[in-house]
Structure 1
Amino acid sequence: MAPAAAGYAPNLEKYLKSLKGQHLELTIENLVSLLKRGQISGAEDCAVATAHCLLQVVAKSKWQDVDTLIYNVSRTGNRLARALPHELVISNVARRVLGLIRDEAAETRNEPPSETPSEGQMTPSDAPTNATALSQQWPPSTGSNGPKPPPRPAMMRPGTTVGPGIPRTLSHLLSASPAMEGDGHLSPAGTSGTSTPLQRGGGTSSSQVHALKSEVIDGIEEIMDEISQVDDQIGALADIHIRPGDHILVHQPSRTVSRFILRAAVKRKFTVLIASQPPPRVKKGEEDPYASFRKKLSSAGVSVINITCGGVMAYMSLVNKVIMGASAVVAGGGVISDAGAAAIARAAKEYGIPIVVLAGIYKFSPSNPYRDDDVVQWANPMTYVSFAEGQLVSTNGCLVKTAVNEVISAQLIDTYVTNLGTHSRAHLSGLIADHYKPEDMDLHLWEMNDP
């Protein structure tokens, strides 16, 4: 990536403007660099940037079969996710696009998902005859009915299909697609040529490839529209959750939380307690990030109380409800939010105060972190410890760590408000299953030899 010109600070807006006419590989590399340097950060910006990048992959990479397209998208999504592993929305958007491709491919073939046969139901005529060539990479397993067909390429789990309603028939398994390499071309590494062409019979597939590409691009644009409308759709539910006279506690309100509160302030009169963690060393001339929010609430006739996170317990007995934002929600219901939110959640639970989390569907991840440190991001501790205190730190062997976010246990959360409505923790598994395919759940675990 070329060095930035003087006065030029790359961000999401400038990245989106640079996409027109740019080479595909350069588009991907630029986004990886921006994510690593933190010039594109935050759940919404990362999700939007990922969706635009994957749209370019679908539109510009060369592919003639579904397997190659799925590989192109999954490979790019994996690279972006590794560039900023703490931002789970990157993998979420990649999984959504992969699921979209599988659904559109099934519709292109006019095959209903409900007609997918299992391996045990396949007839002998469906079994591949060229098993010797295919077994060079995947040795076939044996069963009661003889050799079973080998699994799909490395990106697919054994026993799954390319998409709903797409059985692995003889014509699918033995139809080879030439590997594509070079600039703008992504080649599935380690596959055995068992790609899935779009056509049935001997006809050309160019029209089907064009139709599938158009449908997938339209679907990605719908995902972008969904992301842009999340705050408004969640805000429409504010009147249901906030009643007149309530005392609402918010912790470092995000844009979603701010719009939610302001939407309720149009028809309700209540009190908002804003808990924040001001840095101990405030730079001269630095603006209060919540000053505009407080001003809008006061203009709407809403009372505002400013407190620090350390003084939350003194006010907790007055609070009727705690409303929090989230950068991501994991499969088990745990919420990744700003540092300090977990302490407030535990205090609210002790007082029996309900906790409501606001998050768009694109923030719900189908994966669970093995450890909290896998998703917790650490910042520069210079805000709290300066170089002048270096001798104290080095002499006593003190380790100073500053967390940007932390994980709130699912047991502390009562309600999840999304752009699709209000949900309890028991409904999250069904909600996630509706938006992700089982084949794409392990996207973040794939090992690919990318630079």
Structure 2
Amino acid sequence: MSAINAAKDKDLHILMDTFISKLKRKQIHGSYNVAIETAQLLVKVVSLTKWTSLEQLISSISLIGKRLVDAQPRAYTCGNVVRRVLALIRDELEDEEKTKGSTTESSNVGSSMFNLLTPAKTDAQNKNKSGINDQRAVIIQSIRDLVDEIRNVDQEIEGMLDDLVHDNETLLTPTPSSQTVLRFLKRARQKRKFKVMVTECFPNDTAVAHNFAKQLAEANIETIIVPDTSVFAVMAGVSKVIVGTRCVFANGGSVTESGVSTVVECAREHRTPVFAVTGLYKLSPCYPFNRESLIEFGNSGKVVKFQENTLVENAETANPLYDYVPPENIDIFITNVGGISPNFIYRIVLDNYKQEDIDL
């Protein structure tokens, strides 16, 4: 038995080290893929880890979650999924405590004055082992249900199309890398006829923007690529701005692709509504106290070529990969559980996370 447990521990360590290596090297792309991979890893953790109580399992997953978050702090959905799983386990723990309480009361009522009810140790151990196996199966099924929820996010969002997009509108999106936005627009075209403007997203996502526009054109959607510097000029003719997000914090602020903050500022100036399309798994219980730490910087050579010696030597060049968008610049978040105001995000967070798990 010890050899089997040692083999399981070794397999688990290999899985953990491999996943952490992928996170550090950014070999897992996109919030969706990170969330799915994390949930599948936790299924294996629950099944392979040797634990005798739910408290012990919670402690183990908390330590694993801390390692994952430390490996890649800006892979926000990784920490979100870990906290969601911990909340599921804590719900199971609460149910167990309620069941134990009711069982204790009934046994006290039925006990005799001579305390004759003394079950054998082996029976108690077998019962405890059976209970742990049942809990293990329930938790694994709960995590799989969470995976199904993440995979079906787009279908739930698409059910709100009739109220969001209308005929002959002009939509603008500054997040061509978002597959959720892409599927949202392609599905909307099946019921509505509209035009889409896509920002060029210089310098990081220019090729992605062109590919995004190509896919929309293939779906019979009239598409125009707009230079980033022309956003304010064209905003007067835009009906709605559709953006994707990487993470939504408890205060309603969000982390998105670079350049989105400027676009939503222009939209606010023109009184153009801004809709953020996101899944529930991207909602984080954390608050962005240090907003500068949320921004990651990439290769500055994409902004100014290193061959341009004069500029490089006399200028400090920065290439931010992400933007922080404050809650006042988003009108509504379109999620798989409906439309949510930025001011109401904290309420949804309280329903899906536990206070004890915010700081892993």
Contact kept in structure 2, 1:269 and 1:301, CA below 8 Å: no
Which residue is 1:378 aligned to?
A: 297
The 1:355/1:387 distance shift into structure 2, 3 A limit, reads: same
- Match runs of 1:9-408 below 5 Å: 23-111=11-99, 204-253=127-176, 254-279=178-203, 288-291=207-210, 293-390=212-309, 392-394=311-313, 396=314, 398-408=315-325
What is the root-mean-square deviation of aligned Cα atoms in Å?
2.4
Shifted more, 332-341 versus 20-29: the winner is 20-29
Cα deviations by residue, 1:338-383 (Å, 9 ceiling, x for unpaired): 0000000000000111100011000000101222122211111121
- Distance between the aligned counterparts of 2:204 and 2:138, measured in 1? 52
Q: Is 1:411 the equivalent of 2:335?
A: no
- Distance between the aligned counterparts of 1:280 and 1:203, measured in 2? 59
- Distance between the aligned counterparts of 1:112 and 1:65, measured in 2? 13
- Distance between the aligned counterparts of 2:204 and 2:258, measured in 1? 15
- Distance between the aligned counterparts of 1:327 and 1:34, measured in 2? 18
Which residue is 1:154 aligned to?
A: none
State the one-letter code of the partner of 2:202: P
| Aligned partner of residue 304 in structure 2, secondary structure | coil
| Aligned partner of residue 252 in structure 1, secondary structure | coil
State the one-letter code of the partner of 1:436: Y
The 1:390/1:205 distance shift into structure 2, 3 A limit, reads: farther
Deviation at 1:391, TM superposition (A): 5.8
Contact kept in structure 1, 2:261 and 2:325, CA below 8 Å: yes
- Distance between the aligned counterparts of 2:236 and 2:196, measured in 1? 14
The 1:215/1:83 distance shift into structure 2, 3 A limit, reads: same
- Distance between the aligned counterparts of 2:204 and 2:36, measured in 1? 34
Contact kept in structure 1, 2:80 and 2:281, CA below 8 Å: yes
| Aligned partner of residue 196 in structure 2, secondary structure | strand
Question: Identity over the aligned pairs, expressed in percent?
Answer: 33
State the one-letter code of the partner of 2:312: V
- Distance between the aligned counterparts of 2:281 and 2:295, measured in 1? 19
TM-score (normalizing by structure 1) = 0.69
Shifted more, 245-254 versus 413-422: the winner is 245-254
State the one-letter code of the partner of 2:138: E
- Tell me how many residue pairs correspond in the alignment: 331
TM-score (normalizing by structure 2) = 0.86
The 1:265/1:219 distance shift into structure 2, 3 A limit, reads: same
Contact kept in structure 2, 1:415 and 1:425, CA below 8 Å: yes
Cα deviations by residue, 1:130-158 (Å, 9 ceiling, x for unpaired): xxxxxxxxxxxxxxxxxxxxxxxxxxxxx
State the one-letter code of the partner of 1:80: L
- Distance between the aligned counterparts of 1:265 and 1:442, measured in 2? 42
Contact kept in structure 2, 1:236 and 1:263, CA below 8 Å: no
Spell out structure 1 runs of 4+ moving beyond 6 A: none
- Distance between the aligned counterparts of 1:109 and 1:308, measured in 2? 59
- Distance between the aligned counterparts of 1:42 and 1:292, measured in 2? 17
Deviation at 1:279, TM superposition (A): 3.0
